[in-house]
Structures are given as C-alpha cells and as structure tokens.
Amino acid sequence: MKRILRTCVLAFGTLLAGVASAQMSDNVIKIGVLTDMSGPFSHQTGAGSVAAAQMAIDEFGGNIGGVPIVLVSADHQNKPDVGLNIARRWLDVEQVDAIVDLGSSAVALAVQELVKEKNRVVLFSGPGTDRLTNDSCSPNGIHWTYDTYATGRSMANAVSASGGTKWFFIGMDSAFGRSLVEVMTKTIATRGGQVVGTIWHPTGNNDYSSFIMQAQASGANVLVFANSGTDFVRAVKQAREFGIKGDTLRIVGPAITMVDILALGREDAEGLHYIDAFYWDLNDGTRQLAREFNRRRGSNPGQAHAGVYSAVRSYLKAIEAAKTDSAAAVLKNLHEMTISDNFTPSGRVRRDGRMMHEMYLMRAKGPADPSTAPWDAVSLVTRVAADDAFRPLAESACPLLR
C-alpha cells in the first residue's frame, strides 16, 4: 500500500510539473539578440547588448518557475537579407520566442514583418527609424529605447531655441538617416528656420571632406550629422580638422550616444549636444545598472544596451505574470504593465508599440570639465518628457490605431 501511495504521489507530482511546463513552448524560454556584432554600430549595440540581455536573465536566476531561459545571439552584418535568414531560422527551427535589439533600421523593418507573420515577439532597442511604430507598426513589435522622431524633434527644438536658424544636413543614406532628416526638417520649418543644404552618404563612408566644405560655404550656422556610430565619429573628427569648433558653425548629432562621445575623446567631443534615452548618473537605479554592466564589460552602457536590459527584463516579467510564453498573453501584459526598472521608473507601452519614457538633452564635457571617472564624459542639460519627445498618436499613420 505504501509503495502504491508513493507511486501515485510521484506520478501526480510529475503531472503537475508537466502541466506547469506545458505553458512554456518546448519547455524553454528562448531569447535571441540579433544585432551588429562587427560593423559601424557594434560599439553601440553588439556584444554589449548580449551582456545587457544576460544581466536581465540573471536577475531571474536563469529560469522562470523552473523553466530555463536560453540566450542566443547573431550578427546580422547590417544586411536585411542576412538578418531575415537568421530570424527565420531562429523562429522556424530553433523556436526562439523573442528577438531583441536589431541595431539596424533596415534589418528591423524586415524582421518586424517576419515576426508578425510567425506571431512571436520583437523588442527593438538599437534601430532608430520611427516607422516601426508609425506606418510599419505591428501588434508583435515594441520600440523600446529611442527613435528618430524623438531625437530629431527634441534636438531641432533645443537648437532652434538657442539660435540655430540655418541648417545643413550630412545624412546617412538609410531608413534611419532619411527618417531623422525628415523629422528635423519639418520641426525646423515650424520654428521658422531654414535648411540650406542636404547631402547623403553611404553607411561606412570614409571621406567627408567635400561634404564638410560645402557645409562651410553654405552660410549655415548648424551642421547636423544625421548618422551614428563610427560614421559620426569619423565625420566629427574630420570636421574638427577643417576648423569647425562651434563658434560660427555648430555641430549637432541628434542620434548618437555616450558611447560615440567616448570614442571621439574629450577634445573633439567638447560641447556637442545630443539626445539620449539613458544617462548613467541620473539616479541610484541608473548607477546600479551602469556598475553591473561595467563589471561585466569594462565600460559603461549606452542607451541601446540599457534598453535591451529593460526590454528583456520586462519581457520576462510579463511571462512570469502570464505563466506562459504565448506571444498574445505576453504582449498583452507588456501593454498593460508599468515599466519600472533601472532604465526608467515609469515607462508604458502605447497601442502603436512605442514604449514611452523620458529622453535627455546631453552635453559632452571637454578636457577642462570636472570628471569622476573615464566614462563621466557628459552632463545632463534638461529632461524631455515622453509626451514632448515621441510622436503624438494624433499624427501617427499606424494601422493599429484605426
């Protein structure tokens, strides 16, 4: 009788475990970080985004209710076809539940459609194009960290208010660059400013000299580098060599991060203003995130890294609450929950998939400015409220709002 009772208890326990694990597809929660691991945006995303995702997973002890959380990563090489092939294999063969980061607007737009077709989840941190929550929005995608509307609009307003009247754009010829220039051009017009020239360059461009000379001859008092990563760093260094120091022609980089500022160095970066989604020294929470990232990577996180951490952590919290990794249930929770972590204390996801949170106008420190550490390279100028930064729903072309 005891043996029979023990057998029944074991069988019942196994049944309960099976019922619990059955709520998780394949009895595993699998997250894929698809990003730029070797190209011009790799220092903004890349291995740092993988580390940030792992930080979030480690906060859950590597499992939810005994179901393991597995992290995979891959380099999309900033090529939509490469990114799509990896994403398709992940979703069809490797049963990845969520794809995170992306780091390239062109790749992000392509993967957005695939994830919608496969009914999984995609959380964007690195890509900038605002189309992800505008005309190309998806019920399966959330744009977490920043976008070209927020950075472009906030930057154009701030510079216009401080005397920027004639603008010259040197922009990356990509979905990201064109979106950023479009947003800024419209904002400049509403502020009574004038765009006196726009030039496009390919990703990975090496020589900006002819573009810079045209900007100097244009009569502009604002030079916008509508690019990012190594393209921005290279362009600013060359502009400094041409004597552009900000006295008559001011340089702005709307969509860069502190990672780019550090790559420039104090002398070349001094005085640059930009819009960021994350400032490491904002409060105790951001400092804690930065310390842990620094412990793992030997550097401070940029906005895309902090966004990946927040997105993965929130995704796992949504799974924990839903007790399933079903895309519909998890997305419902993400849209209903308050995002409260070391990235933002009170974020929320709108119907168009935009995660709403504060943005920050930052200024790069120079060699003479006080600093407490090598990464203490920027200072906060002002906060920009979420509703003042991101596109109002009334202006959105997102089909989900109809």
User: Does any domain span residue 317?
Assistant: yes
The stretch 86-90 carries a mean pLDDT of 98
267: exposed, middle or buried (Cβ count in 10 Å: 0-12, 13-18, 19+) = exposed
- Number of residues assigned to the chain: 402
Q: Does the pLDDT of residue 313 top 90, yes or no?
A: yes
Q: Which domain holds residue 336?
A: 29-146+283-357
User: Does any domain span residue 395?
Assistant: no
Q: Does the pLDDT of residue 6 top 70, yes or no?
A: no
Domain containing 272 — which CATH number?
3.40.50.2300
User: Does any domain span residue 324?
Assistant: yes
Please identify which residue in the block is written with the tokens 């990509």: 174
Q: Does the pLDDT of residue 12 top 70, yes or no?
A: no
One domain, residues 196 and 118: no
How far, in Å, CA of 208 to CA of 238, rounded? 7
One domain, residues 261 and 324: no
One domain, residues 237 and 335: no
| pTM beyond 0.85 | yes
The stretch 271-277 carries a mean pLDDT of 92
Which pLDDT belongs to residue 374? 82
One domain, residues 239 and 369: yes
Q: Which two tokens mark 46? A: 């890349």
Give residue-wise pLDDT tens across range 287-310: 999 999 999 999 899 999 999 999
User: Does any domain span residue 13?
Assistant: no
Residues 127-130: contacts with CB within 8 Å, 24+ apart? 127/102, 127/103, 127/176, 128/176, 128/179, 128/180, 128/228, 128/255, 129/105, 129/175, 129/176, 129/179, 130/179, 130/183, 130/391
The stretch 91-100 carries a mean pLDDT of 97
Q: Does the pLDDT of residue 187 top 90, yes or no?
A: yes
One domain, residues 172 and 270: yes
Nearest Cα to Cα of residue 125 among 149, 141, 110: 141
One domain, residues 256 and 159: yes
Structural domain count, the chain: 2
User: Does any domain span residue 396?
Assistant: no
Given pLDDT bands bounded at 50, 70 and 90, which one contains residue 346? Answer: very high
Q: Does the pLDDT of residue 9 top 50, yes or no?
A: no
One domain, residues 43 and 158: no
Q: Does the pLDDT of residue 154 top 60, yes or no?
A: yes
Which pLDDT belongs to residue 176? 87
Which pLDDT belongs to residue 22? 41
One domain, residues 94 and 117: yes
Q: How confident is the prediction for the chain on average, in pLDDT?
A: 92
What letter would DSSP give residue 133? G
One domain, residues 82 and 191: no
Please identify which residue in the block is written with the tokens 């999309």: 76
Pick the range with the lowest mean pLDDT from 46-60, 77-91, 241-255, 328-342: 241-255
Phi, psi of 112 (to 5 degrees): -55, -45
